[in-house]
Amino acid sequence: MNVVIDVGNSRINWASVEQGALVGVGNALHIDSLDRAFETLAHTLPKHVERIMVSNVAGEAFARRLLKLSTDCWSCEPEFVEPVAMQCGVRSAYGHPEQIGSDRWVNVIAAHNVTTGPACVIDAGTSVTFDAVDEGGQHLGGLIFPGLRMMISALDTKTSDISVTEAPTRLPQGISILGKSTDESVGHGVMLALATGLNRAIQLVEGELKADPKVFLTGGDAELFLPLLEKDVDHRKNLILEGLAFMISA
C-alpha dihedral sign at 90, 144, 100, 62: negative
Half-sphere exposure for 44 (CA within 13 Å, toward CB): 20
Please give the distance of CA 107 from its chain centroid, rounded to a whole number: 7
CB 29 within 8 A of CB 11: yes
User: Of residues 103, 123, 131, 134, which has the active-site annotation?
Assistant: 103
Is 103 considered catalytic here? yes
Position 39, amino acid: E
Please name the helix (run of DSSP H) or strand (run of DSSP E) that holds residue 101, with its range, or none: none
Rounded CA separation 63/82 (Å): 13
Length of the chain: 250
Cα diameter, the chain: 57
* Residue 103: φ, ψ to 5°: -65, -45
Residues in Cβ contact with 64 at an 8 Å cutoff, skipping those fewer than 6 apart: none
DSSP sequence for 105-153: HHHHHHHHHH-SS-EEEEEESSEEEEEEE-TTSBEEEEEEEE-HHHHHH
* Residue 91: φ, ψ to 5°: -105, 125
Position 100, amino acid: I
171: alpha, beta or left, given left = phi > 0 and alpha = psi -120 to 50?
Answer: beta
Which residues are known catalytic residues? 103
